[in-house]
């Protein structure tokens, strides 16, 4: 599928990397010649140097043949104008990154409709949603939601003294009964889709599929359920911090933001009067301690510097803060942060990459069972996909135990109306269902791809 990307910054490059790996015909546009040269050398794709809102540049990029056009340049206005022109010039679907809170209110749907934008994405808002989910269930390192949050996959890092250390999954089910499914396990650099005989070890990262209520029930039985974070310190007054604070204040949380730029402090204070805004350098340990770091339920580092987020989060962990989360954008620093002891990180780049990959696969398979949601799991080594089952799916009403599933594939959940099933071998897939599938070491484009 031909996909044009306007803007080759951090997020644009991550999207390009993901789409190239999926085999799409990608064209990149950026107005910085050095960036264009670097992208061309790394990915061996067609690149055009120029303004993404210039009709001649779009013509050179072949916009009339583009099945998908994604504008993720630094300016919201440029992205919207690029998508408007691309649609007029023949692009099939257009996606614009729109970050400014002023554009993300009630008028967003009007803008989309008038400009012909198929989808608007906001990395900071999506990142804030992921952060909010984690703060709601602090024992989890990561939470992904399916079917309008009816169903969740939580990632946990098992400590060396975990109650699950040495238990097989069969033994775990007998000892800790409930409606849940251990669907993926990462051990060192290997990812497994486990069967009942798989034995868990301390240090494993495990993925558990369950409803929110069942997940909390399991965590309570394991003795690792933490109370929801009520008092939160946020380092950095970024857009992500703005969106997260807005959600937290609406939920009755106490939020304190530490930001070194005085003008930004005044803007946040005016926009979010319910938050306490401190103007100061959060890298100063004395300031953090004075502002009650040790007494806080959670600390979230959201500055623009990954290294600062990691180091200050490690300090927060040393002060026994119950939940510490760091925003880390650079992929090469994610594993380093984990090795340094940070259990929980978020990456806006990867969140947006997942959204675009979902959109591309859904567009590619509009005649089959559509990909509704896609998440990269276990540090990108596995995928969880939610499919909407169409009437022409060949394998309806066949028990799962009679299907010949490919290796490292697991049907992890079935959502049938308001009913949520943790499937057994006797369960079937029906037209209209939403089916959650886990896959390791392979990419699925259609629900039929799970069959040998």
pLDDT tens across 71-127, in order? 999 999 999 999 999 999 999 999 999 988 888 777 888 888 889 899 999 989 999
27-41, 107-121, 179-193, 272-286: lowest mean pLDDT where?
107-121
Looking at the DSSP bridge assignments, the partners of residue 5 are: 28, 70
31-40, 256-265, 305-314, 389-398: lowest mean pLDDT where?
389-398
Sorted by sequence, the CB contacts under 8 Å of residue 436 that are 6+ apart come out as 146, 151, 153, 209, 384, 385, 386, 411, 412, 413, 414, 415
Helices H, strands E: what count in the chain? 14, 22
Asked if the model's pLDDT at residue 4 lies above 90, the reply is yes
Tell me the pTM. Answer: 0.85
Q: What do you get for the CA distance between the two ends of the chain, in Å?
A: 25
Q: Residue 141 — pLDDT band, cuts 50, 70, 90?
A: confident
List of domains in the chain: 2-121 (3.40.50.720), 140-222 (3.30.70.1450), 231-346 (3.40.50.720), 369-450 (3.30.70.1450)
* Res 100: pLDDT: 84
> pLDDT tens digit string along 240-294?
999 999 999 999 999 999 999 999 999 999 999 999 999 999 999 999 999 999 9
Q: Residue 367 — pLDDT band, cuts 50, 70, 90?
A: very low
* Res 365: pLDDT: 59
Q: Do the bridges between strand 434-440 and strand 409-416 make them parallel or antiparallel, or are there none, so unpaired?
A: antiparallel
Average pLDDT of the segment spanning 361-370? 62
> In this structure, what DSSP letter does residue 65 have?
G
Q: Residue 368 — pLDDT band, cuts 50, 70, 90?
A: very low
Element of type H or E holding 225: none
Mean pLDDT estimate for the chain: 91
CB 272 within 8 A of CB 159: no
> pLDDT tens digit string along 153-173?
999 999 889 999 999 999 999
């Amino acid at each position: 599928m031909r996909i044009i990307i306007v803007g080759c910054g951090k997020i644009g490059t991550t999207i390009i990397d993901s789409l190239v790996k999926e085999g799409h015909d990608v064209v990149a546009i950026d107005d910085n010649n050095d960036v264009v040269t670097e992208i061309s050398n790394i990915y061996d794709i067609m690149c055009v140097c120029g303004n993404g809102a210039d009709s001649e540049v779009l013509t050179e990029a072949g916009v009339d043949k583009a099945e998908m056009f994604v504008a993720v340049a630094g300016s919201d206005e440029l992205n919207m104008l690029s998508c408007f022109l691309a649609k007029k010039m023949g692009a099939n679907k257009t996606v614009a990154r729109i970050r400014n809170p002023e554009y993300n209110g009630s008028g967003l749907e009007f803008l989309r409709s008038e400009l012909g934008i198929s989808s608007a994405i906001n990395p900071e808002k999506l990142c804030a949603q992921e952060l909010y989910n984690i703060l709601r269930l602090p024992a989890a390192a990561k939470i992904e939601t399916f079917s309008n949050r009816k169903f969740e996959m939580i990632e946990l890092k098992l400590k060396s003294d975990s109650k699950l250390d040495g238990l097989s999954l069969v033994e775990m089910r007998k000892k800790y009964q409930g409606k849940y499914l251990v669907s993926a396990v990462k051990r060192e650099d290997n990812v497994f889709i486990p069967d009942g005989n798989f034995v868990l070890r301390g240090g494993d990262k495990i993925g558990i599929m369950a409803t929110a209520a069942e997940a909390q029930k399991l965590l309570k039985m394991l003795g690792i359920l933490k109370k929801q974070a009520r008092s939160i310190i946020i380092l950095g007054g970024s857009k992500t911090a703005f969106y997260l604070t807005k959600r937290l204040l609406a939920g009755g949380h106490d939020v304190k933001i530490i930001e070194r730029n005085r003008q930004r402090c005044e803007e946040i204070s005016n926009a979010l009067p319910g938050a306490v805004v401190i103007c100061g350098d959060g890298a100063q340990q004395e300031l953090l301690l004075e502002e009650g770091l040790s007494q806080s339920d959670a600390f979230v580092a959201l500055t623009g510097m990954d290294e600062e987020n990691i180091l200050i989060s490690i300090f927060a962990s040393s002060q026994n803060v119950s939940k510490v989360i760091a925003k880390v954008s650079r992929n090469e620093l994610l594993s380093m942060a984990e090795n340094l002891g940070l259990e929980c990180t978020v990456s806006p780049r990867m969140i947006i990459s997942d959204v675009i990959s979902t959109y591309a696969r859904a567009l590619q398979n509009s005649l089959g069972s559509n990909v509704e949601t896609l998440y990269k799991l276990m540090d990108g080594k596995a995928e969880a996909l939610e499919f909407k089952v169409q009437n022409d799916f060949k394998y309806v009403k066949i028990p799962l135990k009679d299907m010949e599933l490919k290796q490292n594939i697991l049907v992890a959940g079935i959502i049938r109306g308001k009913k949520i099933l943790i499937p057994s071998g006797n369960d079937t897939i029906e037209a209209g269902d939403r089916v959650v599938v886990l896959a390791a070491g392979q990419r699925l484009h259609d629900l039929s791809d799970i069959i040998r």
